[in-house]
Structure 1
Amino acid sequence: MVIVRHSGFTLLELLVVLALLAMTYALIPPMFSLGGSTAELKAGARQVAAGLRKARSQAIASRSESTLTLNVESRSFVLSGDDTPRILPRQAEIGVYTAQGEVLDANNAAIRFYPDGSSTGGRVTLAMGERKYLIDVDWLTGQTEILDTP
């Protein structure tokens, strides 16, 4: 009598392989998106810093006060004299530390620049996961600096 062996895979083996593939596909996309999110967060920090520098330059050039107002709920900011909101990354957590008189309401706060280049000072934080950028504004000079915290 001849024994015939059927080569192939059992149903259980196929299910195990499919489960492993499903787990792999679920884990790989988040790994690739981390780099993009970090770059997007850094671009947002640079955008805020550029807005702060522009507000300072406007105050000096126009010899009048200029503000940058941040809305933490809509994740955006506007410069005085320009109603166009600049949108920040929607995944970013935003914090604003400024003078008490510049806190407009629960969601809006401003950093004010004076004609001599000084400001109310403050800090804007943009965070996403473990990554955080601090945008500091010196009250005396109005200079803006981006600090990268690991």
Structure 2
Amino acid sequence: MVVRSRRGFTLIELLVVIALIGVAMVAMSIGISQGLQAARERQTLRDMVYALRQTRTHAVLSQAPAVLRFDMRQRWFQAPDQPRRFWPASMAVDLTTAAQAGSGLAFYPDGSSSGGHLSVARGGQRWRIDVGWLTGNVRWQITP
């Protein structure tokens, strides 16, 4: 009696493997897109801190007041001589500053500022960017 062994895979086995690969690709693409969105939002937060520091430097070097402007409705901020930077709709930004500064943070030639802070929230994460009025120092931290 001759026993023949079969080599290869059945059609069902191949379909199962293809289905598993498809499920893995979908799960991976969702994870990657969420990771990219979170990275964009963190970069926007760093851009805000950088724009504040850049505006302070601009005021000191030019020996003239400089203002970092914010538009909360259209979700943008703009440093002097720089293009507008937009933040994603998934980020909630709240600005608290002196009334005379309007919707911005002012920096003066001696390095001081109008003072204030930005509260930034995304999902369950919250950050606070503080601007000292006396020194114009910009600090940011995660808040509980």
RMSD: 2.3
Matched, 1:128 2:122: yes
Task: Indicate the residue corresponding to 1:39 in structure 2.
Answer: 39
Deviation at 1:87, TM superposition (A): 1.4
Deviation at 1:34, TM superposition (A): 4.1
Give 1:54-65 correspondences, 5 Å limit: 54-65=54-65
**Aligned CA distance change for structure 1 residues 54 and 28 (closer, same or farther; 3 Å):** same
| Structure 2 Cα separation of the partners of residues 33 and 138 of structure 1 | 36
Alpha-carbon displacement from aligned partner over 1:19-67 (angstroms, at most 9, x marks no partner): xxxxxx7x98766544333322221111001000010000000101000
Equivalenced residue count is: 121
| Structure 2 Cα separation of the partners of residues 73 and 29 of structure 1 | 31
Unaligned runs of 5+ in 2: 1-25
Contact kept? 1:41, 1:126, Cα under 8 Å: no
| Structure 1 Cα separation of the partners of residues 73 and 30 of structure 2 | 25
Alpha-carbon displacement from aligned partner over 1:56-91 (angstroms, at most 9, x marks no partner): 0000001010000011111111123x2621112232
Task: Indicate the residue corresponding to 1:115 in structure 2.
Answer: 109
User: 139, 143, 146: which is aligned to 2:133?
Assistant: 139
Amino acid paired to 2:89? R
Identity %: 31
| Structure 1 Cα separation of the partners of residues 53 and 128 of structure 2 | 15
Contact kept? 1:137, 1:144, Cα under 8 Å: yes
Amino acid paired to 1:118? S
**Aligned CA distance change for structure 1 residues 131 and 119 (closer, same or farther; 3 Å):** same
Give 1:1-150 correspondences, 5 Å limit: 33-80=33-80, 82=81, 84-103=83-102, 109-150=103-144
Secondary structure of 1:57's aligned partner: helix
TM-score (norm 2): 0.73
Amino acid paired to 1:120? S
Contact kept? 1:45, 1:146, Cα under 8 Å: no
| Structure 2 Cα separation of the partners of residues 129 and 120 of structure 1 | 29
Contact kept? 1:126, 1:133, Cα under 8 Å: yes
